[in-house]
Amino acid sequence: MTTQQFNAVYGPVTSWRYGRSLGLDPIGKVSTCSFNCVYCQLGAIEHHTAQRDIYVPTEKIISDLQHFAPWDVDVITLSGSGEPTLAANLGEILDQVKALTQRPTLVLTNATLFNDPQVRQALLKADKISAKLDTVTPRGLKGINRPVMGITYDTLTRGLLQLRQEYSGELGIQTMILRPWPDHEIDEYLRFIQRLSPDVIHLNTPTRPKPRQRQFDGRGNHSDADNRAYSVQHLTCVEPDVLSKIAQAISQQAQIPVKWVSH
- β-bridge partners, 22: 76
Q: Superfamily for 9-260?
A: Aldolase class I (3.20.20.70)
DSSP the chain: --TTT--SEEEEEEETTTEEEEEE-SS-SS-EES---TT-TT-S-SEE----B-SS-HHHHHHHHHTTTT--SSEEEE-SSB-GGGBTTHHHHHHHHHHHH---EEEEE--TTTTSHHHHHHHTT-SEEEEE---SSHHHIIIII-PPTT--HHHHHHHHHHHHHH--SEEEEEEE--SPPPHHHHHHHHHHHHHH--SEEEEE---SPEESS--GGGGS---TTS--SS-EE-PPPPPHHHHHHHHHHIIIII---EEE---
Phi (first) and psi of residue 44, to 5 degrees: -65, 135
Pairing mode, strands 9-15 and 19-24: antiparallel
Name the band, by pLDDT with cuts 50, 70 and 90, for residue 214: low
Mean pLDDT of the chain: 90
The predicted-structure confidence for 103-149, as pLDDT tens digits, reads as follows 999 999 999 999 999 999 999 999 999 999 999 999 999 999 999 99
Name the band, by pLDDT with cuts 50, 70 and 90, for residue 225: very low
The predicted-structure confidence for 136-162, as pLDDT tens digits, reads as follows 999 999 999 999 999 999 999 999 999
Percentage, residues of the chain above pLDDT 90: 77
Q: Tell me which residue of 26, 39, 235, 238 sits closest to 144, measured CA to CA.
A: 39
The predicted-structure confidence for 35-80, as pLDDT tens digits, reads as follows 999 999 888 899 999 999 999 999 999 999 999 988 999 999 999 8
* Whether the Cβ atoms of residue 178 and residue 204 lie closer than 8 Å to each other: no
Q: What is the pLDDT of residue 58?
A: 98
Name the band, by pLDDT with cuts 50, 70 and 90, for residue 219: low
pLDDT at 229 over 60: yes
Name the band, by pLDDT with cuts 50, 70 and 90, for residue 14: confident
Q: What is the pLDDT of residue 242?
A: 93
* Whether the Cβ atoms of residue 103 and residue 76 lie closer than 8 Å to each other: yes
pLDDT at 211 over 80: no
Peptide bond into 70 cis (omega under 30): yes
Cα separation, 24 vs 108, whole angstroms: 11
Q: What is the pLDDT of residue 221?
A: 52
Per-residue pLDDT averaged across 171-195, rounded? 96
Per-residue pLDDT averaged across 7-31, rounded? 92
* Whether the Cβ atoms of residue 178 and residue 206 lie closer than 8 Å to each other: yes
Q: What is the pLDDT of residue 220?
A: 59
Residue 14: other Cβ atoms inside 10 A: 12
| Residues contacting 117, CB < 8 A, separation 6+ | none
